[in-house]
Amino acid sequence: MLEDYIKSPEGKPPSRGSRLALAKLLKFLSDKGSSEKALYQGRKDTSGAEWTTIVAHYLLSKLAVCSKYTLDSHSFSKGRIKELCCGCGCKERLSGDYIIYGDTSIGVPSYWHGRVDIRMDVAVTVATEDPDSQGAENSSFSVDVESPSERMMMCKEQIRARTIVFSFLQQKNQPDLNNFLIPTIAMSKSKVAVYLYDSENDIFLETPCLDLFLGDEFLKVETIITLWLVLNFKYCCSGVPDEILELGFTADFFKHTGPHLEKYIANVNAPCNYQPEDKWLALSVLKDVKHKVQGINNI
């Protein structure tokens, strides 16, 4: 789509969704300075909850055709929700029509459940470095280490589990999608990584950590385009390449869940009312996926 536009700006993508997606990207790039300012200022002295809000409002929603998003209400106290303002310095009140707070839990009753920090057409996990900040005791992931890449690495197992379950959720809710290679985004204040799981073919893919910024203030265009492609996967993703499918290399999630796989297909929900019964399946099977990921990423 981008290559065609660069070669011939007069040409238009064939589908309405693709045209809307391209318009979103071009609009963002033409005025990315305002988002850069908000994100740069927002990285300073903000809690994990505030950073999550700023990322959703000033970056992700501006790149997505479907800009609606829900923030995890567990990460905010009730009083904090009403008073929260943008942390970039503009003091814009980010509430009401701007933000929806709600239950972002996803899962399969009796098996596995978790919460995502931002739910759009994709799931977003924000790895924060301030475990004592507002809402951190309830946030979906928070650690206290030096490197942003370390923070991303330490929560990989949780993100992989969410990615797998979210893919089954999208397959259930949107059965008419062209393919079910569904992405999940993981972010810190300086890094981005993308995880993808195909719930039809049992294939898991992930990217290395990507720099969000070029230097201290400017957004890295390559990463912005990656986020744009992921957020608009309905129009930009063609599924698992044939070269990978032909190798027959899978994550083995189907194998490990065995007869319980049908529960993931039929009973996955959002929000999820978790009622543990089969404890053996909860996280142990999802952890086994990590042993399969490295090989396929090296292909």
Burial of 13 (0-12, 13-18, 19+ CB in 10 A): middle
pTM for the predicted model, two decimal places? 0.81
CB 54 within 8 A of CB 85: no
What are 190's two structure tokens?
């300086």
Per-residue pLDDT tens digits for 24-62: 999 999 999 989 998 988 888 778 888 898 899 999 999
Count how many domains the chain has: 1
**CB count, 10 Å around CB of 96?**
8
Assign 189 to helix, strand or coil. coil
Query: Is 89 a residue whose pLDDT tops 80?
Result: no
**Residue range(s) defining the domain that contains residue 215:** 2-297
Altogether, the residues listed in the chain come to a count of: 299
- Tell me whether the omega of the peptide bond preceding residue 109 falls within 30 degrees of 0, making it cis: no
Q: How confident is the model at residue 295 (pLDDT cuts 50, 70, 90)?
A: low
As a whole-number percent, the residues of the chain with pLDDT over 90 amount to: 52
- pLDDT tens digits, one per residue of 249-267: 899 999 999 999 999 999 9
Q: Quick check: 81 pLDDT over 70? A: no
